[in-house]
């Protein structure tokens, strides 16, 4: 299965700043997914990143807050903009693999704390 390198693994950020999370996959994939897990909540899909087109955002998430880049088939970034304490979460990137009932492969996550 694919191996995903994600960084940073954790960071402490000041309110109002922005942080970019990077994910590198060791193989070419069509779609990459960005998830968030707020404390005590479930993993929630933020957006799907496709190479060569704009990301598709889920309800409640907007491009201005979470801009995404997908410059090639092995790399993507997610920026958390103008952070507030409510953005303190674990952010994960993932790819889907398999045939039929696909399985998600994840990066190790980026744990962000916003002060």
The residue from 14, 40, 53, 99 that contacts another protein (CB under 8 A) is 40
Among 20, 24, 44, 81, binds another protein (CB under 8 A): 44
* CA distances, 109 to each of 20, 52, 92, 101, 106 (Å): 13, 24, 4, 23, 8
47 contributes a contact to another protein by CB under 8 A: no
Q: Is 60 in the site for another protein (CB under 8 A)?
A: no
C-beta of 43: minimal distance to another protein in Å?
4
């Amino acid at each position: 299965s694919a191996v995903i390198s994600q960084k940073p693994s954790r960071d402490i950020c000041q309110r109002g700043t922005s942080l970019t999370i990077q994910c590198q996959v060791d193989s070419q994939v069509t779609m990459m997914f960005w998830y968030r897990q707020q404390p005590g909540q479930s993993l929630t899909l933020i957006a799907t990143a496709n190479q060569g087109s704009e990301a598709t955002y889920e309800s409640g998430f907007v491009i201005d807050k979470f801009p995404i880049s997908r410059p090639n088939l092995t790399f993507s970034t997610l920026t958390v903009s103008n952070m507030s304490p409510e953005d303190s979460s674990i952010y994960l990137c993932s790819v889907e693999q398999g045939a039929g009932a696909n399985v998600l492969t994840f990066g190790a996550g980026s744990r962000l704390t916003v002060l």
